[in-house]
Amino acid sequence: MKIILVGLNHKTAPVAIRERLAFDATRIMAALRQLKNRFGQPAEFVLLSTCNRVELYCAADADSGVTHNRLTEFLSEFHGIKPDDFRDLLYIYRDEDAVRHLLTVASSLDSMVVGEGQILGQVKESYRLACAARSTSKVLNRLFHCSFAAAKRVHTSTSITDGRVSVAGVAVELATQLFADVTSAKVVVIGAGETGELLVQHLLHEGCKNIVVVNRSFDRAGNMADKYGVVAQKWGQLNDQLIDADIVIASATVQDYLFRKDVLGELCDRRKKGSLLIIDVAVPLNFEPAVNDIENVYLYDIDELSGVAEENRKAREKDIHKGMQIVYENVAEFMDWFRAKDVGPLIGQMREKFAEITQEELDRFFVGPRQEASCKQVMEPMVKRIVNRLLHCVIKNVDAVAKERGPAEAAKFVDSIVQQAKQISTETDDKDSSQQ
């Protein structure tokens, strides 16, 4: 069994590529089903897609035909993108490296903003979708639950989640840095999803009093407005809200730009206010990058938040080190289980062969007059106990080989022991025959 991860993130790929490879929940389900149909039942898959990363996790038998190249080809075919457009931006991790990466991601130690709490929820949701698509089994089930446990320990044992640590928090922090008086500004939040709700929470924390939420589903926007005491507007009112806004923070899930330069330029001509600050944290982007060329419009997209994220990262260096130690411990525990999972059946075979040879030797000894020997009832369990103790020593050596050199080498080691045991048994039979 092997574990393979193929992915890209904010460190390796620009937002323009990430948004072309992004999945929503419906497309994740479709992709997982296609992967199962393509590679068969033994292969397991989980697909993680956020604004900052797209990662495909796979666990499969060595002879399943699953390779990182075939997974790359799948991403290319599913999205209709040439492999050469993104192949060089991918990272490929296997086995322990893949495990370590997932645990680091789930613990928010690999996020643009270290410690942001949103990523753990996204990892859990990706796993939930995989379970719904029945694309997981023993290995990835164990791996993802291990990642949840590691993330919990990191969050409770360190202070990396303190303060503004989500992408939404950084967006609001940027607004406070670039706008003179954010408390009196009219802020329009586009999107009422999880990120939109985080934006509202951070804005209220900063003392903003004039917050308007605009969402395609007015009911969802209305529910958020009732929950936080802000204003909800219908989607058709979005243009009018932008004309009167000071700050716009966009997080809507769309397949194309909500606003291009020409349309927004016409809206800005109708504005009576001064400058307009737009922070676009959506993937795909809600605003065309050329919008930044409009006079008195200042656009920042999600990639430009990395400077603030870096400052937060430096402030948390000690906690990052502590968090990584927790990750390493959990990786070691998982890999012990993962290696033993493959070696376990081999050890079972070895136990059976030793038991078989032991019984053969006992049967060979207790023949003829010895068959009714009074010591038989004592000797048989005693011999079996001795063999089991010796076998325990052998198993410890098998475990050591598995940890140091991998399951394949451990399998060879076990096989060599079984073959030697068979040879010894055969030699004994030949010797007995010649003596007769």
What residues are annotated to the active site?
51
* Contact of 118 with 124, CB cutoff 8 Å: no
* Contact of 241 with 211, CB cutoff 8 Å: no
Q: Which is it for the CA torsion 284, 289, 294, 299, positive or negative?
A: positive
Q: Which CA distances in Å does 239 have to 203, 243, 292?
A: 21, 6, 17
Rounded to 10°, the helix 306-315/317-365 angle is 70
Which has the closest alpha carbon to 171: 228, 224, 113?
113
